[in-house]
Structure 1
């Protein structure tokens, strides 16, 4: 028992030798837990329509805002967390405004709205760390609203969730203080211009949008169980160059191929020991924070594990549904890689010369 534990700790030390990202991982879990707990309070959630999980909505906003935030001081971190939580709420509100119109006038599903969030993920990287986070949060807000089936009458729930998320995300960051050093998104690679002069961020946004629209069209023919999983995979594998995208595709598929089977092994224990499963999910999210951005494969595996075991604890035991996480992630990643090659492919630049 001692040797496996020592090996595991040594592995953690190799990923995060200075312990800084472990602290961020704890902050992610804490923010999620605070938001989920506050959202269940009767006095807070009494004005929310029945059927909407205020805690789940707020926890999603707070968790991913904490992931995207990457500042060095409490003041700037708190400011960014506020902006990021509001961006997620804005994305959710945009979805709830547009989805009913698409259904009423074009007989189209709400997943078409996700294309705008996909574009924001790529394009807003041109505004630095905060811009990248805002773009991601807009998509996360849309994705959460889509997954929860929010409609045009749910603006109060979104506003309350944003308020809870701000509190839940800021408090742990104030407590972590200087012990946490943010990681840069170096794994995305340097962002350079397109050979034809197009801004790389614009190209990345267009690639993500094209991949998203293709998946939406395929879903109308194939009937994907969770098309949002494929869309999310294609959005987040898009890198600053075609080569960088293919590397992220490889890492995302590899991580998912490991994380999903590990989660399936744990499924028989989910009904008997849900607390233990939640602890395992929390540990996986800490590993997720430690692995970003350099070990994208480990991060993807950790998140795939977390998603599946939490689905199982919450009552989802359909094996086809759980396995869909694997093959739809592969599908979305491959489509994202294909769009990176076909839609204005980006090449790395060195000393002013495009490498072809």
Structure 2
């Protein structure tokens, strides 16, 4: 499958929630290199959106434009109801950004990092101390608050980084590869923090090099390749774009196995394992059709499993490159 695959259609029905972030025809070039070639996005408020793409696809450039760090060459973008080009101050007041590299100052304590951020947001001393204390407790950093941040583990620094981002109570947070370099336990702790943020109504725009992270967290995922959005949808919708899905039926009774093989002639047989494999996109409609055919023939399988391609398969098929977990994002 090539990069000409069109985005999957959005689910219909009901009124869509308001968009926290939207872009139309967003374009950006550096010299003669086109980084973004007219991308359209609509991210509902209170959701997690993940942007995936190979090295140099433009993920970080997209975050930089939406967070007003660089300007677009064309198209329109709105964040929290503010036009990025016309009202950058309004955008900045509504967002928080945590980049690939921690903004934590290791020379001062965790508490001092928090209070410094409170000063930058023009909070009063009392309000700054209250906010810092609440966030340090929320992110399980109270015991370490008086210690230099240079003594923190990678996971603690990431938690402090996000706590600092939350000082200004942003409604939209851009997380650019927030779990890079963390061990599995710290990654899972970060995932829980992200879920809690969303449950509080915060919108999270996530870029990640870990496909399982997008699969675990994101309500919607977009795949960016050669400056274009080549597919968009939920993780399950994206997996259905890729051939290779199948339903596997296993039997313990050889007679039932032979009868099922006769009823499902398109199935691939494994006579030794008494199992049948039927090509399927994993949809409820196809699964019901297979079960109805078995019911009509009076056959019951002992085990039924549905196999669908994972996001690694999707990523490779759409971009023709290695998966993000095998590469590093470049500066753009």
Looking at secondary structure, tell me which structure has more strand per residue. Answer: 2
Looking at secondary structure, tell me which structure has more helix per residue. Answer: 1
- The normalised TM-score by structure 1 is 0.29
Larger Rg: 2
- The normalised TM-score by structure 2 is 0.31
